Structure 1
Amino acid sequence: MYPDEFDYHEATTVEEAIDLLAGHAMEETELLAGGHSLLPAMKTGLSSPDVLIDIGEVDALHGIGVDGDTLVIGAMNRYSDLLDSEDARDHAPALTAAVERVGDRQVRNRGTIGGNLAHADPASDLPGAALASDATLIVQGPDGERTIPADEFYYGMYATDLDPAEILTRIEIPSAADAVGTYAKKPSPSSGYAMVGVAALLTVEDGTVESARLGANGAMDHGVRLEQVEEALIGKSLDEETIATAAEYATDDLETALMMDDLQASGEFRARLLAVYTERALEAAVDRAAAPAAAD
């Protein structure tokens, strides 16, 4: 199928993109990043923007680096850029683990980190990892920059705290160089998206969990923290019994009646999947925590 006609603009700076958004505020306008969600939606008629603003060549939106104890990721970095970055692997292991499970090589070579987070598809792989990583999203609009903690960014299906006049410019993640990060998901057999995905970021000292953050996607209509699981882990030995017990708390803070319910899985089934994949993410953390010791 072919999309409806639209006007196309290519921005070269963040400020130019913001001006274009303001200039077309009365029209249906979309930002074009990697295009993996937007372009199929346009071809099938699910989205018919009047204006496309391409931000792919905005230099300020690219780059990955460490600033002090913070990993800074430009919003237009592709998934493959993140996987090629030693800084990202060292400082954001949970996010890197989730990116490894995104789509296939072709998707990872075109899709962008910022596009994924801003699109807020409940079945995409990064919202849970952003929550587990304690990410902060930096957005810029006509009134300047503002910061949004990942915990406050998502609030519904395709719904975020990002204003239509704003652009997500970068993602900042506190260094987790001493932590282990994992991501476990049950992929949809039809699309590869997450029916349920769980990201975990743990600091383990002498077998005891000192800190824990877990985030999930696919279960609810937006990414969610699994705080009851975190509390059940901290101060405990990361053994089979602790993991199994903690995983059973996965749905405790969630309205199970509001869990995603579609042709692929009922809400009840997703609730069970959430516990199972929480356990698998934690089991993977045990393996990763043991790997450096084995190497030594």
Structure 2
Amino acid sequence: MVATVMSFANFKGGVGKTSTSALVGYNLSKLGKKVLIIDFDAQANLTSLLLKTKASDSDIITIDTSLMSAINENIPLDSIVIPISETLHLIPNAVDFSMYTRYLERNFDTEIEKVSFFSQLIAPLKDIYDFIFIDVPPTLSLLNDTAFYACDQIVVVLQTQERSLAGAEVFIEYLQQTLIDEFHSKVDILGILPVLSKKGARVDDEILKSAYEEFGMDNIFDNKISIMERVKRMDMEGITDNDKDIHDRRVHEIFTHVANEIMTRLEG
């Protein structure tokens, strides 16, 4: 077992990257894959979401060591993992991660040492999991460079809005010019995953048409995610998975399709 390390990313915020990371990871774990999700954002939204998900099965959940604390104290990351389920695990984050860039600047002299640091840190985890997802904030920064350098694949999340399309274009250009050309990263773009503003809306069709023209039809995921109220509720309350609830079933059906397409694209 050698994990595929992935990130859902875009330069623009508010496109559903954290929800997508959580729900794709959750449904891959239901398909029998062992999944680790690393929260790489000091706002810790993904940590909150997954701990609320776990809270449905247990009353007391505590974070003994955050990601930044583990880095500062040279604690192996596998020792701070929180099991959300048997096959879905979390490395939690907290506000102290805002010091991560300063840590890199203080401890390393060259840019490649800084950028490659996190890749080396998670290397021992790759023998434990099938998938490792790194959930990043929507910025182009040294912080994210270290996350993307650690990735094998990136899925660009494209909300069907004009600014999001422009953000995807800038993001892909940045990956090529910085991580690949300058630092010789082997990261690849697995595809572009559209998030529809409103199913059947004209703006969705227009942005998708522009995306097909810009990136090529084969590079756009066949499966698309619609913005759903139930996903918004899960962001606040944790992931629910009630087979008798049509809204839960619909959410997990969509994200299971995305999970399966990811595996198909990796095989191809």
Same fold (TM over 0.5): no
TM-score relative to the length of structure 2: 0.28
Q: Which has the higher helix share?
A: 2
Q: Which has the higher strand share?
A: 1
TM-score relative to the length of structure 1: 0.26
